[in-house]
Amino acid sequence: SKLGSRPQLASRTLAANGTKVVVNGSYAFISIAGATQELQIVQFNAAGTTLTITGSADVNGQAAYDVSVNSTGTRAYLATGVDASKPEFFIINTSSKSGSRPTVGSYNASGMDPNAVAVVTNNKAILVGTGAEEYQVIDITNEASPVRCGGLNVNSGINGLASVIEADGDAYTYIITGDSA
């Protein structure tokens, strides 16, 4: 039925506050703020009545604000809060959904405090946030060593993004800025 209230089918307590959820197959990938685990992986059954935490990742001790997952579910891309001595963008191996998941590579956003991440065509990730360079394009061709390949200053900061890929491969990103005008 599409009308009326919806019953809750199941619930699961997370390590701390969930900040974003992405579903891929029968798994939910959840970014976490306020726990040592910045990513939790939850498996659900077809009826949605059973939720089981199967895996997690601990990357840098900062709150995670956003997560993106590739189409095959084998990689999670995590954006965490700024840290002067640690990276803020992480590529996590999720080919297995069980146990502690390893970081494949990481990227230091050079003072930007990330709010959101998206992965687009041609092995590129887009990281947005506040401070420093607020829009950063990251080449993730070499997962072990992601590098900046472009960017844009938006002094009012960027609070969120959504990327669109056209049939010919062009990628466009819509951003939400902190500029009220």
Whether residue 70 contacts residue 52, with contact meaning beta carbons closer than 8 Å, is answered with no
* pLDDT number for residue 161: 96
Query: Which stretches does DSSP call E strand in the chain?
Result: 17-24, 27-33, 39-44, 51-57, 64-69, 75-80, 89-93, 99-100, 103-107, 113-120, 124-130, 135-139, 147-152, 158-165, 171-177
Q: How far apart are CA 146 and CA 22, in angstroms?
A: 22
pTM value > 0.75:
yes
pLDDT tens figures, 100-111 = 999 999 999 999
pLDDT band at 81 (very low <50, low <70, confident <90, very high): very high
pLDDT tens figures, 138-177 = 999 999 999 999 999 999 999 999 999 899 988 899 999 9
| Token output for 129 | 């946030």
Mark 93-114 as b/e (b = at least 16 C-beta within 10 Å).
Answer: ebeebeeebebbbbbbbeebbb
